[in-house]
Amino acid sequence: MQGVRYVVPPLDGSSMITEMLLMVFSEYKNDTIAAQMVKEAIVQIYRELYRRDRDDPVLNDFIHDIQDPIVLVKILWCDSSSVK
């Protein structure tokens, strides 16, 4: 997702955050995805995986920056074990 910043909150009680790339399965056939859909997915990840509420400061530091249109970038994945 081009231009979408995603931050993993501190998991060990520290203040260190980690930025990661969000990806969608190749079965998703569109070239763009709605910002609202991405925001809802991120809120759900924060709630279910990290046990953090919608008002979490780390979440709110970046979620408001997600705007339409979100362009999906195709990345070709090469398994190094298949390269001879």
- Read off the pLDDT of residues 16-29 as tens digits, 9 standing for 90 and up: 888 998 888 767 78
Q: Structural domain of residue 27, as residue ranges? A: 6-82
Report the predicted TM-score, pTM, of the whole model to 2 decimal places: 0.81
Confidence of residue 80 (pLDDT cuts 50, 70, 90): low
What is the end-to-end Cα distance of the chain in Å, rounded?
31
- Read off the pLDDT of residues 53-76 as tens digits, 9 standing for 90 and up: 999 999 999 999 999 999 998 777
Confidence of residue 81 (pLDDT cuts 50, 70, 90): low
pLDDT at res. 23: 83
Asked if residue 1 belongs to a domain, the reply is no
Region 35-55 average pLDDT: 95
Spatial CA neighbour of 46 closest among 63, 33, 32, 66: 63
Interatomic CA distance for residues 21 and 61, integer angstroms? 16
DSSP state of 4: -
Q: How many domains does the chain have?
A: 1
pLDDT at res. 15: 82
Q: How many CB atoms lie within 10 A of CB 33?
A: 19
Tokens representing residue 25 in the block: 């399965």
Percent of the chain residues past pLDDT 90, beyond the cut:
55
Please state the length of the chain.
84
